[in-house]
Amino acid sequence: MSIRITSLSKEKIIFSQSPVDMRHVLWLYERFRGKAKVSIYVTNVYNSYLYLKRLGLSDCSLTFIPYRPDFRTPIGAVRQRRDLKKLYKEKLKGIQHAEVYFFAYYYDWVTFYFLKRLASNNRLRLIDVYKVKRRRSTGITLSQQVKRFVILLITGVWHEYTEGMSDRVITFPYRRFGVEESEEEVDPDSLQQYMYRVGAGSGKRVLFFESNGADEEMFIGYEDTVRDMLRAILDSGNTVYIKPHPRQGHSKFIDDLPVEIIDGSVPAELLDIEGFDAVVGVESVSIANIAAQETIRVFSLLDLVRFKEEEVREGYRKYLVEKGNGRVRFVEKTDTLLDYINKAGSGGL
């Protein structure tokens, strides 16, 4: 169902669940500031919280909600529930007739704890920023059943599992709570003041999304492959800008290369892509989002790096193709990538 966002409610509550939703968070803030009380709750991603805090948003309450790393243990689950209950009593209990926005209905069970409690007296609205078709999982493993039970004890919500890119993920049964779905698009003009722009660089300017792959167990020989690729781009007289993952950071070996590292707290969705000639990544959701805009060449190293399990690679490929509207190019050789980069900016995609 497509709905029109209104300003009838005098209180707006926004849950930022990942950097992917930051454009929508700031768009809603710009839309409602000065007209309603705006509260933003950032779950799990501390860099997103830091980014919003540095902006110094006026007329806005900003709160960070962490995940406890030990939530799967009995004592950790008890403490997590206690922390969430305390925050709810301090910040959200008693709120009525507010509009509550969130952007993903899977994984983020901390947000779902609050949605359940706000559902009866407020208007919940989902703006799905991922827009990926998901199907309900069957035959979940014992460990997944245990995790679901633990999250039930913490949140009071019996979650489902749905199929993700390469794994099953906890999914919030949002339709049971009367959530309205919105397909509203962000007005880019309202975000110009928040865009991150890079300075001039030599040669082609290449933006590389790097998610600390050297520490990821799904890869084989990642460090050697990516280091050689980056050196080849640099040796060709180009400038490489590294965009680290907001939570995982970037691989340490990159610090030894003459690259420019962008502040990890800056959301990828707020980078001024027009300042680059090409975008490169492996499995990052951000490269798919950029590819879908059809404004710049986007390349994935999915076929250049080695995976321990082929089904994991293919799971990411399916996601990048679908989310990127078929605009992500998959390269198998560094020379092929260099050829594409050298042609970047010469017209066409």
Q: What is the pLDDT of residues 205-219, one digit of tens each?
A: 999 999 888 888 899
Residue 53: is its pLDDT beyond 90? Answer: yes
Could you count the other beta carbons within 10 Å of the beta carbon of residue 128? 15
Say if residue 175 is in the same domain as residue 242: no
**pTM (2 d.p.):** 0.84
Say if residue 180 is in the same domain as residue 248: no
State the pLDDT at residue 139. Answer: 78
Residue 192: is its pLDDT beyond 50? Answer: yes
State the pLDDT at residue 247. Answer: 82
* Number of structural domains in the chain: 2
Residue-range definition of the domain harbouring residue 57:
11-193
290: nearest Cα among 313, 267, 262: 267
Domain contains 4 = no
pLDDT digits (tens, 9 = 90+) for 54-99: 999 988 999 999 998 888 888 989 999 999 999 999 999 999 999 9
Say if residue 224 is in the same domain as residue 103: no
Are 212 and 261 contacting, i.e. CB atoms less than 8 angstroms apart? no
Q: Please identify, among 193, 219, 250, the residue that sits at the C-terminal boundary of a domain.
A: 193
State the pLDDT at residue 6. Answer: 46
State the pLDDT at residue 5. Answer: 42
Confidence band of 280 (pLDDT split at 50, 70, 90):
very high
Say if residue 226 is in the same domain as residue 160: no
Instruction: Provide the CATH number for the domain around residue 36.
Output: 3.40.50
Domain contains 347 = no
Say if residue 91 is in the same domain as residue 234: no
State the pLDDT at residue 4. Answer: 42
Domain contains 3 = no
Are 22 and 270 contacting, i.e. CB atoms less than 8 angstroms apart? yes
Q: What percent of the chain has pLDDT over 90?
A: 64
Say if residue 116 is in the same domain as residue 250: no
pLDDT digits (tens, 9 = 90+) for 322-340: 889 999 999 999 999 999 8
pLDDT digits (tens, 9 = 90+) for 4-42: 444 456 899 999 999 989 999 999 999 999 999 999 999
Domain contains 349 = no
Domain contains 177 = yes
Query: Which position has the token pair 């014992």?
Result: 142
Could you count the other beta carbons within 10 Å of the beta carbon of residue 193? 8
Give the CA distances from residue 235 to residues 239, 256, 257, in Å, rounded to whole numbers and listed in that order: 9, 15, 11
Domain contains 5 = no
Are 16 and 40 contacting, i.e. CB atoms less than 8 angstroms apart? yes
Say if residue 273 is in the same domain as residue 241: yes
* Mean pLDDT confidence for 267-284: 92
Say if residue 163 is in the same domain as residue 292: no
Confidence band of 3 (pLDDT split at 50, 70, 90):
very low
Q: 164-173, 198-207, 311-320, 340-349: which range is least confident on average? A: 340-349
Say if residue 211 is in the same domain as residue 189: no
Say if residue 59 is in the same domain as residue 136: yes
251: nearest Cα among 213, 218, 305: 213
Q: Please identify, among 145, 162, 193, the residue that sits at the C-terminal boundary of a domain.
A: 193
Residue 147: is its pLDDT beyond 50? Answer: yes
Angle, helices 142-155 vs 74-87, to 10°: value is 30
- How far is 182 from 201, CA to CA, in rounded Å? 40
State the pLDDT at residue 8. Answer: 52
Say if residue 206 is in the same domain as residue 151: no
State the pLDDT at residue 269. Answer: 87
Q: Count of residues for the chain?
A: 349
Confidence band of 347 (pLDDT split at 50, 70, 90):
very low
Instruction: Provide the CATH number for the domain around residue 231.
Output: 3.40.50.850
Report the chain's mean pLDDT, rounded to a whole number. Answer: 89
Say if residue 39 is in the same domain as residue 169: yes
State the pLDDT at residue 235. Answer: 94
Give the CA distances from residue 144 to residues 5, 58, 147, 162, in Å, rounded to whole numbers and listed in that order: 37, 42, 5, 12
Are 29 and 60 contacting, i.e. CB atoms less than 8 angstroms apart? yes
Burial class, 1, CB count within 10 angstroms (exposed 0-12 / middle 13-18 / buried 19+): exposed
Domain contains 107 = yes
Q: Please identify, among 193, 208, 223, the residue that sits at the C-terminal boundary of a domain.
A: 193
